[in-house]
Amino acid sequence: MTAWQIALVVVCPVTAAAIIAALIWLNNNLIAVTRYNVPFKTEREVKIVQISDLHGKSFGEHNNRLISKVFALRPDAVVITGDLIHEYSMKNILVALRTVAVLSAVAPVIYVSGNHEMRNKGYRRFKAALTEEGATVLDNSETEVCGITFAGLNGASNKNDAVFNFSKDPSSAVLLAHMPHHIERYARAGYALVLCGHAHGGQWRIPFTGRGIYAPGQGLFPKYTSGIHRVKDTEMIISRGLGNSEFPVRLFNRPEIVMITLVPKSCACADEGREFNKAKKSD
């Protein structure tokens, strides 16, 4: 073997391994921001930042990279749509609670649980700690922030009819619900806008198709993994989320923060907002 052949045999696999490692790191750690404009019954523009499915992950020490990204968006409210923690370990909980505490200092934080919190024997204590850190925990209940009504389902109630029972006026409310695949029921309840997570973007996404491979509750090639969807009069936005659960690696599916701007329906810019959504910008 010549020196060149030896170099090729050694260098090519090492280079390929380095490229794959970098791709995997970027796909799991480089946070994308996706923006949507939604015409809404509101007097003024309201900016909502959605965080979902963190699963106890920390982007940088103390989640500082995630927190900086949220701060830069200057939200009027931050909503967390479940699976903030993955398993009940002190590490997960402390990271999550500190993140909520810091975010609460700049904007109201509204939280609903996901299926992971529901499995968690320590959820009651976690919920109390979230409230202490400044979050409003919605447990099949509503709150008003910046003139907008936010309704929230707990992680156990996505699958049942609780969504019909607590909102005074769903047609002018934002529903926070972890699971997107119950959209038909949320739409029957009449919510104007639903914010969901849970599907993790389908975990591995097929480039240029906008499709994911798998989501819990939907199986292979699921319909609801990301983006904006409309059923009857209900718009639903799905975050691809930030962390991972049982399956540890994302591919072509960067962790995502969603930024929703509620635009007054009377505003001339409302139609422009719909066009903007079609473009589905991420950065």
Of 83 and 256, CB closest to Fe ion: 83
The residue ranges that bind Fe ion (CB under 5 A) are 53, 83, 245
Single-letter code of the amino acid located at 256: E
Of 63 and 245, CB closest to Fe ion: 245
Rounded to whole angstroms, the Cα distance separating 61 from 237 reads 29
Of 127 and 200, CB closest to Fe ion: 200
For the record, the structure tokens of 70 come out as: 């949220």
Contacts of 193 (CB under 8 A, 6+ apart): 38, 40, 173, 174, 175, 234, 235, 236, 237, 260, 262
Single-letter code of the amino acid located at 52: S
CB nearest Fe ion: which residue? 83
For the record, the structure tokens of 191 come out as: 């919510």
Rounded to whole angstroms, the Cα distance separating 184 from 228 reads 14
Beta bridge partners of 264: 40
**Closest separation in Å from C-beta 114 to Fe ion:** 6
Tell me if residue 228 falls in helix, strand or coil: strand
Of 115 and 136, CB closest to Fe ion: 115
The four Cα atoms 143, 135, 215, 210 give a dihedral, to 10 degrees, of 80
**Closest separation in Å from C-beta 186 to Fe ion:** 18
Of 122 and 216, CB closest to Fe ion: 216
**Closest separation in Å from C-beta 59 to Fe ion:** 16
Rounded to whole angstroms, the Cα distance separating 268 from 120 reads 47
Of 76 and 83, CB closest to Fe ion: 83
**Closest separation in Å from C-beta 11 to Fe ion:** 40
**Closest separation in Å from C-beta 81 to Fe ion:** 10
**Closest separation in Å from C-beta 147 to Fe ion:** 30
Single-letter code of the amino acid located at 111: Y
